[in-house]
Amino acid sequence: MTYKKIAELAGVSVSTVSKVMSGSHEISRDTAQRILLIAHEHHTVPPRYHRDRVGTRVAIIAPEIVSVFYSASVTAIAAELEARGIVPSVYITNFDKRKTARTVSSIIDSGIDGIISFEDLASVPALPPTVRFSAEPADHGDSIATDYASAIFEAVELLVKSGHTDIGFVGERLTGLKLELFKKAAAGLGIVPNEKNIFISRKRFEQIGYEAVEYYVSRKTLPTALLCAYDEVAMGAVHAFARHGIRVPEDISVIGINDIPFASYANTPLTTISTGDSGAARLAVSMLCERIGDPYRCKPRHVVLKCELVIRDSTADPRKKERLN
């Protein structure tokens, strides 16, 4: 569409349209936004948004980089950004909502060009172009969700079809969503999980698996299978079971989530759910670049990524449930 037509639709002069499209600050914010919205509706991108990405700065916000999942995800995103000539900066919030808000405010004040976030930014106003990893669509910017629901259902279904009916769950205070999805999947498959086989720890990573095994052993009764909230938990449990002479998968099946690199190289290669971190990184960077290139595209996009159940050696048909000696 020509600038003359945009000017007619906006009720302004061609000169005003030209100034807005070239990035001039002479025009009022309201008028500029009206013009840019009309331009977007008619698929006319301002020339300044065709600029080279070199020099563009993007913030990556993550709650931590201690876990393999977050460190691998952040590393993959940073590599994708750098491959496009974009300068990444990483900010860690430690799962603290107030720190997240302060961090984002500081990032915005620094004039950052875009944000890719694993944290909820709904309470932060006036965000720059943003892509958020979130189960729910974002009100501002684009979002990417991981379809844990289908994958967890598939994992539980694998166990049920193998003959398991006494399935436990091991997680922590930050994995409540996965627990709810596990319960929903079990219900959908006609299984009512024994609440005594659900173990939620205040610890993290492999320590959770060790703690859970000590709990199960102290009860003198094991479930026949466990779904663990993430792979580090599962591998900690497998190792702890071995110390008690309990074999995986002969005595108990174990499934993890995330498919971290070590999962396939463990003494007992782990059956797990792959979340496709590298693909998610490419998609997030691509979506953000599109949003930076056309920030006045109003309708946010929400993309749901499928997971894959990777079956290895830590699952098998159940033995007859026995009390521990």
Between CA 187 and CA 182 the distance in angstroms is 9
Answer yes or no: is 112 within a domain. yes
Provide the pLDDT for residue 183.
Answer: 97
Angle between helices 277-293 and 68-83 (to 10 degrees): 40
**Does pLDDT of 322 surpass 60?**
no
**Does pLDDT of 323 surpass 60?**
no
C-alpha dihedral over 99, 284, 260, 228, to 10 degrees?
Answer: 60
Query: Strand pairing partners for 183?
Result: none
Q: How many Cβ atoms from other residues are within 10 Å of residue 184's Cβ?
A: 14
Provide the pLDDT for residue 5.
Answer: 86
**Does pLDDT of 187 surpass 90?**
yes
CA distances from 16 to 4, 22, 31, 219, 245 (A): 10, 10, 9, 76, 78
The answer to whether 248 and 268 are in contact (CB under 8 A) is yes
Do 210 and 269 lie in one domain? The reply is yes
pLDDT (tens digit, 9 = 90+) per residue, 220-277? 889 999 999 999 999 999 999 999 999 999 999 999 999 998 999 999 999 999 987 6
Do 111 and 216 lie in one domain? The reply is no
Provide the pLDDT for residue 40.
Answer: 66
Number of independent structural domains in the chain: 3
Provide the pLDDT for residue 51.
Answer: 45
Mean pLDDT of 178-194: 96
**Does pLDDT of 70 surpass 70?**
yes
Answer yes or no: is 322 within a domain. no
What pLDDT band is residue 50 in, cutting at 50, 70 and 90?
very low
Question: Average model confidence (pLDDT) for the chain?
Answer: 88
Do 268 and 171 lie in one domain? The reply is yes
Do 258 and 284 lie in one domain? The reply is no
Provide the pLDDT for residue 116.
Answer: 97
Answer yes or no: is 181 within a domain. yes
What pLDDT band is residue 46 in, cutting at 50, 70 and 90?
low
DSSP 295: T
Provide the pLDDT for residue 321.
Answer: 47
What pLDDT band is residue 132 in, cutting at 50, 70 and 90?
very high
Provide the pLDDT for residue 24.
Answer: 62
CATH number of the domain where residue 65 is located? 3.40.50.2300
Q: How many Cβ atoms from other residues are within 10 Å of residue 244's Cβ?
A: 14
Q: Which residue has the higher pLDDT, 217 or 55?
A: 217
pLDDT (tens digit, 9 = 90+) per residue, 300-310? 889 999 999 99
CATH number of the domain where residue 32 is located? 1.10.260
User: 320: which 2 tokens?
Assistant: 């007859």
Task: List the domain range (segments joined by +) for residue 12.
Answer: 3-50
Q: Which residue has the higher pLDDT, 296 or 2?
A: 2
Query: Strand pairing partners for 272?
Result: 256, 310
Whole-number percent of the chain with pLDDT over 90: 66
Answer yes or no: is 324 within a domain. no
Answer yes or no: is 254 within a domain. yes
Q: Which residue has the higher pLDDT, 279 or 44?
A: 279
Provide the pLDDT for residue 290.
Answer: 85
Mean pLDDT of 181-208: 95
